[in-house]
Structure 1
């Protein structure tokens, strides 16, 4: 069910102008984007032709605007935001955004994973920028990466029709590096590497 137009506008205004923003507002705004991707209708599709189950540059723009608002810049991507991004990724069977959402999606998930593991992450505007290569800040070893977070990501990706190649590569590398850890030995079976 799509939210009324005022709801998204109000959420975006809160996210962009409030000095203290709960990241749940960003997750809620991302759910409105998800609904628009699913139905092709609603506030995120207003004023343009939008087909259901497609993700276009407008949808990417909404996601980017929500995730990189100034009020959230110094906060790591939350689990709720990451879950919504997985749902948007799953909802979009057709991509018309030149890969921009896939790049944002991979960076946001890794930003969440690193921060949830207690590792330092750059500000969102740096980490999620299309000009910043994920390899410049993402963890490259499993040292310090929370196994529960890797398990959660693997579970989100398992059996999906469309997986993000960049995210798969990073998670597979972390899992490979973590194979000496007891819980990590079960992780490779969680990932379905078919694209």
Structure 2
């Protein structure tokens, strides 16, 4: 993405003009780039080390996913993939767990909605004040097998070792590990 395009996306974030999943995923990619390099539009005006994720990065992700135009839409696969990439990019964390919480909730929100299960609006599902257990499916019953395989492939392909994502596996995927034993062989 060119620097002009990046500036347009950051401008959209700053003015809450993200109006579709593609723009949100692009904006999350800019956050990822800032996490990787420690530079860029999401790190301006502060000291930011490469491969570090801080509270401001988590706040960027929260603002992007909470864009008003997306409020009634479920988290998309592109957005969830961008969050997996941010998680992978961040070797160091200083955000008090906010990103991990948001990451797990967003992936579960996507998985449940992509499976045709009811999900609350983003403002509820992604809120730091709402426990994932209050709305996430508690069994894999009804969760689409393709979605479960996608989550497993993301977890195998990336360094996913945080507690929130492991909670995601046990919360959403629970019974599927019995039904699909090879899908979740993630070697943790």
Give the match for residue 181 of structure 2.
185
| Structure 2 CA distance for aligned equivalents of residues 64 and 42 of structure 1 | 18
Question: TM (normalized to structure 1)?
Answer: 0.88
SS of 1:74 mapped into structure 2 = coil
Give the match for residue 11 of structure 1.
12
Q: Tell me which of 46, 56, 75 is aligned to 1:77.
A: 75
* 1:161-194 Cα distance to aligned partner (Å, 9 max, x none): 442322223323544412564xx232232x232x
| Structure 1 CA distance for aligned equivalents of residues 10 and 168 of structure 2 | 35
Check conservation: 1:54, 1:95, Cα contact below 8 A. Answer: yes
Task: State the aligned residue count.
Answer: 187
Q: Confirm or deny that 1:52 pairs with 2:28.
A: no
Return closer, same or farther for 1:174/1:67 CA change in 2, 3 Å cut-off.
closer
The residue correspondences of 1:105-184 to structure 2 (distance < 5 A) are: 105-158=103-156, 160-179=158-177, 181=179, 184=180
**Structure 1: gaps (5+ residues):** none
SS of 2:96 mapped into structure 1 = coil
Check conservation: 1:106, 1:164, Cα contact below 8 A. Answer: no
1:155 Cα offset (Å)? 1.1
| Structure 1 CA distance for aligned equivalents of residues 77 and 144 of structure 2 | 13
Q: Confirm or deny that 1:100 pairs with 2:98.
A: yes
SS of 1:138 mapped into structure 2 = coil
Check conservation: 1:40, 1:54, Cα contact below 8 A. Answer: yes
* 1:121-156 Cα distance to aligned partner (Å, 9 max, x none): 001010000000000000111111011111111111
| Structure 2 CA distance for aligned equivalents of residues 128 and 102 of structure 1 | 11
* 1:103-123 Cα distance to aligned partner (Å, 9 max, x none): 000000000000000001001
Return closer, same or farther for 1:178/1:125 CA change in 2, 3 Å cut-off.
same
